[in-house]
Structure 1
Amino acid sequence: MQPNTSPYPDPSGTLTGRVLVVTGAASGIGRAIALTAGAAGARVVVSDVQREGGEATAERVRAAGGEAIFVACDVSRPDEAQALIEAAVARYGRLDVLVNNAGVAGGGKRAHELDIGAWDAVLAVNLRGPFLCAKYALPYLMTSRGAVVNVASTYGLIGAPLSAAYCASKGGLINLTRQLAVDYGPDGVRVNAVCPGYIDTDMGGGRARLDPAERDAAQARREANAARQPLGRQAQPEEVARVVVFLASEAASFMTGSIVTVDGGCTTTFNHG
């Protein structure tokens, strides 16, 4: 392996030699997780429905001296979720870490106005997807005594305006995390979740589709909301990624069923804005 010159240093322990699958890694938090894990020595299987972005993430891991492949996957489809896990094991002979990061936003309406298909689409990716990936990964993780890290959200811990499907999906993922920790702890598999708050990403590319004035206004609203939390700012994706890699590593060897907020303190207090 080439010397590590990545701006994503190993934050804790090491993932050297471990095989890590990260879904939703074409951009944002998922890309940062892939880069951070690669810098920590993991062999990274990058996955996303967006082939171009996913391939670019894998190339960035390799350019920084790491090892990575890309596997296209819609996590809501059982056949594709299974094929993703099997591709990782076929390439590297084992699986040590599953990071369920793929997610979609969905929102903007109250429950009685929300289209049923829109509800189903959010739950399919955000809750069914992590279940499917875990279902097919767990037999291998029991062998390696590995780890699952689910990327949930602060919206799984609180109610938020116009976000029925998203809040429900992330709340479900949080309790799925706890439940899997109970069932698979005796097999040496640790299952934890992170709950990001305001992170400087464009989830689903929504802002990118706006005209410049609308995009600037949306960003300004987000920054104003973030400014009201204790740390007073949005986070960068790599700040979440470092926590994910910590949970995946042996530095977190006695943590399972933990729900870790990475939110600048926003869930610790009322938003007085």
Structure 2
Amino acid sequence: MQELKDKVVIVTGASEGIGRALVKALAPIGCKLVLTARNQQRLDSLAQAISSNSSHQPLVFAADITDPLACQALISATVEHFGQLDILINNAGMTMWSRFDELHDLSILNKVMQVNYLAPAYLTHSALPHLKVTQGQIVVVASVAGLTGVPTRSGYSASKHAVMGFFDSLRIELSDDNVAVTILCPDFVVSEIHKRALDGQGNPLGKSPMQENKIITAAQCAQMMLPAIAGRKRLMITSLRGRLGRFVRLIAPGLIDKIARKAIASGH
């Protein structure tokens, strides 16, 4: 992973889950890390946890990236501190868990879209002038749910489809600037995001509906993502069913619907 050594890397949603695991995986490589999320305490504990395993002291910047002004401040702080920006990892996200016809609080759809799609769009817009200078890279953590429909996750799936369309389009726009766009699509991962998923009333579930002993950990997911980031790959899908599903749905879309329904029902 020498391609990533000394690169200035922003990781959003770094306080928990995949973001926290990515930070722990990138630190030993020698990246100059910027850790951002809303939870200052969790960011500070992460910075302390990687301090003995990193050659560079990370920059901690607590921010709500659904606010375009906060996005601008984060990018400015990064460039002021490290002098440049090489890689932006758009990881922060949230989810919901309810059939659409049982959804009583429609503002959930707006919240999920704001965090999962608009926030990375805002942050990427602020980062682009600096990424063009370094011929850097935009990484976005999408989801297998961005490749197909998933029952009880309609709002989440919609937001991830938006992410896929946006960053695929942006890749084409940036081709002459040599700024790479890498889309990462994990399947189910053990993460706080499931416990915080909003139910039909807009309240956090409080516990994960997943069979967590049957899905990969955030640390395993992060290790799978590193080669795709280092290689500036176009797309990486973590699961075999996700990779096969892209092609099977072209000839047997009903089969993919059944697989998605079974995955939600079984919790893995």
The corresponding residue for 1:183 is 173
The corresponding residue for 1:146 is 136
Q: Does 1:73 align with 2:54?
A: no
What one-letter code is carried by the residue in structure 2 that aligns with 1:83? A
Coordinate RMSD, CA, aligned? 2.2
- Cα 1:115–1:66, aligned 2, differ >3 Å: closer, same or farther? farther
Task: Tell me the CA shift for residue 264 of structure 1.
Answer: 4.5
Task: Tell me the CA shift for residue 129 of structure 1.
Answer: 0.6
What one-letter code is carried by the residue in structure 2 that aligns with 1:268? L
Task: Tell me the CA shift for residue 112 of structure 1.
Answer: 7.2
Task: Tell me the CA shift for residue 53 of structure 1.
Answer: 1.2
The one of 213, 218, 226 aligned to 1:245: 226
Identity of aligned residues (%): 25
- Cα 1:169–1:111, aligned 2, differ >3 Å: closer, same or farther? farther
- Cα 1:130–1:248, aligned 2, differ >3 Å: closer, same or farther? same
Long gaps (5+) in structure 1: 1-11, 224-232
What one-letter code is carried by the residue in structure 1 that aligns with 2:36? S
Alpha carbons 1:149, 1:192 under 8 Å: kept: yes
In the alignment, the residues of structure 2 paired with residue 187 and residue 243 of structure 1 have an alpha-carbon distance, to the nearest angstrom, of 27
Task: Tell me the CA shift for residue 240 of structure 1.
Answer: 2.5
The one of 95, 98, 105 aligned to 1:108: 98
Task: Tell me the CA shift for residue 180 of structure 1.
Answer: 1.1
In the alignment, the residues of structure 2 paired with residue 182 and residue 219 of structure 1 have an alpha-carbon distance, to the nearest angstrom, of 36
Task: Tell me the CA shift for residue 260 of structure 1.
Answer: 1.5
Superposition pairs of residues 1-273 of structure 1, within 5 angstroms: 12-67=1-56, 68-110=58-100, 113-203=103-193, 205-206=195-196, 215=207, 218-220=209-211, 223=213, 233-249=214-230, 251-252=231-232, 255=233, 258-266=234-242, 268=244, 270=256, 271=259, 273=262
In the alignment, the residues of structure 1 paired with residue 192 and residue 34 of structure 2 have an alpha-carbon distance, to the nearest angstrom, of 22
- Cα 1:114–1:98, aligned 2, differ >3 Å: closer, same or farther? farther
- Cα 1:180–1:210, aligned 2, differ >3 Å: closer, same or farther? closer
How many residue pairs match? The answer is 242
Aligned residue for 1:14, secondary structure, equals: helix
Q: Show structure 1 runs of 4+ deviating over 2 A.
A: 111-116, 204-207, 242-249, 263-273
Q: Given the two structures, how large is their TM-score scaled by the length of structure 1?
A: 0.81
What one-letter code is carried by the residue in structure 2 that aligns with 1:162? T
Q: Given the two structures, how large is their TM-score scaled by the length of structure 2?
A: 0.83
